[in-house]
Amino acid sequence: MKQRLEYLKETPSQTAGPYVHIGLAPGDAGFQIYNQELGRDIAGPNAKGERIRVEGLVIDGTGSPIKDVLLEVWQANAHGVHAHPEHPGDVEEDFRGWGRVITDFETGEWGFDTIKPGATPGRNGATQAPHINLWIVARGINLGLNTRLYFDDEESANAADPVINTIEWQRRRQTLIATRSVRDGIPVYRFDIRIQGEDETVFFDI
């Protein structure tokens, strides 16, 4: 006999199912219950930086939009600081950097308003290009999918980004780059996420 390790095992994941909205966005399930729903305000009015909108679809292996998906957003502020005690630096009082996004039930389109994040510290003294972490859950997704959104107007920062550069295939790197346009004076970044099939989005095991 040998000694035993005393670690616990992580609780295994199960799908969020089709009714995830009841728990995480009950107003969208069709009823009011909480005084405030969480994740509606990623960057409040005092948050500095460029105001942007991010929009897209989550597309399944048949090429169809997934209409019952829920995304969570996690990002740094315009100075590259996360609203978390372990990230040195200050964030604006009403900047949380976290949000919850659901789709239009008819079209599958989703979108959120935020500020464009700044570059953040990477490992070993490196700098990471501005990015937004996304976590995607839905019926049929057994374990939440992690990916990152980068910005197409950050070409040189993206080229030096240590995470993008861990992706061996140039072609697949493109799946992480949101494309900028301007609508009604507001920059809009388009970011379609392909769960499976041609141009499948890069997902990370973090």
Q: 182 is in the binding site of which of another protein, Fe ion, none (Cβ under 5 to 8 A by kind)?
A: none
Question: Count of residues binding Fe ion (CB under 5 A)?
Answer: 1
CA 151 – CA 180 distance, rounded (Å): 8
CA 68 – CA 115 distance, rounded (Å): 26
Question: Residues 60-99 vs another protein: string with x where CB under 8 A?
Answer: xxx---x-x---x-x-x-----xxxxxxx-------xxx-
- Is the Cβ of residue 22 or residue 119 nearer to Fe ion in the bound state? 22
- Asked whether position 144 contacts Fe ion by CB under 5 A, the answer is no
DSSP 85: T
- Asked whether position 121 contacts Fe ion by CB under 5 A, the answer is no
β-partners of residue 110 are: 56
51-56: strand order across its sheet: 98-102, 70-75, 131-137, 145-151, 177-183, 186-190, 51-56, 110-115
Candidates 27-35, 49-57, 106-114, 152-160; binding stretch for another protein (CB under 8 A): 27-35
- Asked whether position 17 contacts Fe ion by CB under 5 A, the answer is yes
- By C-alpha distance, which of 169, 141, 107 is closest to 13? 141
Q: 167 is in the binding site of which of another protein, Fe ion, none (Cβ under 5 to 8 A by kind)?
A: another protein
What ranges in 32-169 are assigned the alpha helix state H? Answer: 155-159
Question: Residues 150-189 vs another protein: string with x where CB under 8 A?
Answer: ------------xx-xxx----x-----------------
Give the residues lining the site for Fe ion (CB under 5 A): 17
